[in-house]
């Protein structure tokens, strides 16, 4: 027991209890003796009850549930979409099981309750982290007592967002931040540093106005973003792409250093009303990172990496990462040697730079926006390996090629951004320039 009732304390309790009893009238000697015995016995009974209660309280204080604490497993780091590596053990439970709930980060649990161990601690269920590089939180509850466990998504990829043009609302800025956090969970490797000088006129090269020219080093990607006028309603919704790439030993490194993405303010509200604006911003940011922006044919005149064959309606992608990703989502036959690319539908901003709509339907990086959810698949993530990125395919959304790899037909009413299928996005009007790398920064394991 954690507390003891000392003889002195017991005697004081007895005296206190005895002083609380008095005889109403003297009566006979026998009556007084009888009354005294009754009073004394009652006093002893009362004191015994007090002592019993005190002993129960003392024992309860020492063996019952106390403050919940994390014995082990707090503040872990893991890749997005993967479980934290070490068991999470909770102490102070008093042998009771606990309820576990994901508070933040979008992760999942194998169960809502833990496992009670022989020593009275509780081991949490398997906690798989969410798919964005944002703080991850898990709440543990027993009755009215709670404790929060935290974890971090592992990534060394950095995205520096800089807004220009018309002032965005906080909600609009959050959409770009959300997209950046999603991509930081997908691309996880550190990039070589490039140094920008004022003479590079980086902002001007990106068509960015009203902001100072950037200077200094970039060890990830710098993205300019705006919502402003382009060409009016139901025409071009977005224009995006790389402005600068890296150059290592005179060779182009197709991992963007500076890029830009611009959305037409005339179309943004209708798109927001459809519920797809977040997906479209993520789609365009992936083009800035390099998806589709550097795909080139052998002997072509574009500055890019040779990843395409068969110019025309049956253009195909030959990068080994993209092929492996397609096979992982059910395209073992469809992508036996290459991946179908859009070659006949849409404008210049769609052909040769997106997955084929009739094969992959609502995958995020086809050239058409479908109603409902547009998942970001392993195929898209793995294709970034072909540009030199280190990626985490576990951060992909669930996706399987529809109908065993062939979509029945294309419907123009699937397009929610514009009335003209495929004409809703446009590449940058100029090829990206190169910035020499100056080394690899010391890895910070940033979260």
User: With 90 as the cut, is the pLDDT of residue 202 above it?
Assistant: no
pLDDT number for residue 301: 67
Which residues pair with residue 355 across a beta bridge? 341, 366
Find the helix packing angle between 170-186 and 277-289, rounded to 10°: 50
**C-alpha–C-alpha distance, residues 213 and 205, integer Å:** 10
**C-alpha–C-alpha distance, residues 138 and 127, integer Å:** 8
Residue-wise pLDDT for 82-92, tens only, equals 999 999 999 99
Q: Residue 443 — very low, low, confident or very high, per pLDDT cuts 50/70/90? A: low
Question: In Å, how far are 84, 189, 219 from 444, measured between CA atoms?
Answer: 19, 11, 11
Of the ranges 47-56, 116-125, 410-419, which is most confident? Answer: 116-125
pLDDT number for residue 326: 98
pLDDT number for residue 347: 81
Coil, helix or strand for 382?
A: helix
Which helix (H) or strand (E) segment holds residue 245: the answer is strand 238-248
**C-alpha–C-alpha distance, residues 333 and 319, integer Å:** 16
Residue-wise pLDDT for 374-428, tens only, equals 999 999 999 999 999 999 999 999 999 986 433 322 332 333 333 334 456 777 7
Tokens 């992982």 correspond to what residue?
Answer: 328
Residue-wise pLDDT for 165-178, tens only, equals 999 999 999 999 99
**C-alpha–C-alpha distance, residues 119 and 404, integer Å:** 51
**C-alpha–C-alpha distance, residues 231 and 225, integer Å:** 17
Q: Where are the beta strands (DSSP E) in 131-237?
A: 136-142, 145-153, 159-163, 193-196, 216-218, 221-228
Which helix (H) or strand (E) segment holds residue 132: the answer is none
Residue-wise pLDDT for 25-45, tens only, equals 444 434 444 444 433 344 444
Mean pLDDT, range 160-187, rounded to an integer: 96
User: With 70 as the cut, is the pLDDT of residue 367 above it?
Assistant: yes
**C-alpha–C-alpha distance, residues 255 and 244, integer Å:** 9
């Amino acid at each position: 027991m954690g507390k003891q009732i000392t003889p002195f304390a017991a005697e004081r309790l007895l005296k206190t209890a005895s002083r609380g009893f008095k005889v109403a009238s003297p009566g006979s000697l026998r009556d007084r003796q009888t009354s005294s015995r009754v009073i004394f016995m009652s006093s002893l009974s009362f004191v015994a009850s007090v002592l019993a209660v005190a002993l129960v309280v003392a024992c309860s204080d020492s063996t019952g549930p106390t403050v919940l604490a994390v014995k082990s497993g707090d503040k872990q780091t893991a890749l997005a979409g993967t479980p934290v590596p070490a068991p999470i053990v909770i102490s102070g439970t008093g042998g009771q099981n606990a309820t576990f709930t994901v508070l933040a980060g979008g992760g999942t649990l194998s169960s809502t309750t833990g496992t009670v161990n022989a020593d009275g601690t509780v081991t949490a269920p398997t906690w798989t982290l969410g798919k964005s590089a944002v703080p991850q939180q898990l709440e543990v509850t027993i009755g009215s007592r709670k404790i929060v466990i935290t974890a971090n998504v592992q990534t060394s990829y950095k995205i520096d967002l800089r807004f220009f043009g018309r002032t965005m609302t906080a909600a609009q800025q959050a959409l770009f931040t959300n997209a950046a956090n999603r991509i930081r969970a997908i691309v996880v490797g550190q990039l070589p540093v490039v140094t920008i000088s004022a003479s590079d006129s980086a902002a001007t090269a990106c068509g960015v106005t009203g902001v100072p020219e950037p200077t200094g080093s970039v060890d990830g990607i710098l993205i300019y973003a705006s919502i402003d006028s382009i060409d009016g309603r139901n025409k071009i919704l977005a224009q995006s792409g790389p402005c600068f790439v890296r150059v290592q030993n005179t060779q182009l490194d197709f991992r963007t250093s500076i890029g830009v993405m611009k959305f037409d303010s005339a179309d943004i509200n209708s798109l927001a009303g459809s519920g797809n604006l977040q997906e479209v911003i993520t789609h365009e940011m992936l083009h800035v990172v390099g998806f589709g922006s550097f795909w080139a044919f052998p002997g072509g005149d574009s500055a890019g990496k040779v990843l395409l064959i068969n110019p025309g309606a049956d253009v195909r992608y030959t990068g080994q990462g993209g092929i492996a990703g397609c096979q992982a989502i059910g395209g073992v036959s469809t992508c036996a040697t290459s991946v179908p690319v859009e070659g006949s539908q849409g404008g210049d901003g769609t052909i040769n730079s997106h997955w084929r709509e009739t094969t992959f339907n609502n995958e995020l990086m086809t050239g058409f926006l479908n109603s409902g959810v547009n998942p970001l698949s392993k195929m898209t993530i793995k294709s970034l390996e072909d540009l030199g990125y280190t990626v985490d395919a576990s951060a992909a959304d669930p996706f399987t090629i529809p109908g065993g790899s062939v979509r029945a037909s294309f419907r123009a009413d699937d397009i929610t951004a514009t009335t003209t299928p495929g004409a809703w996005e446009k590449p940058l009007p100029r090829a990206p320039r190169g910035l020499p790398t100056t080394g690899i920064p010391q890895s910070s394991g940033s979260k």
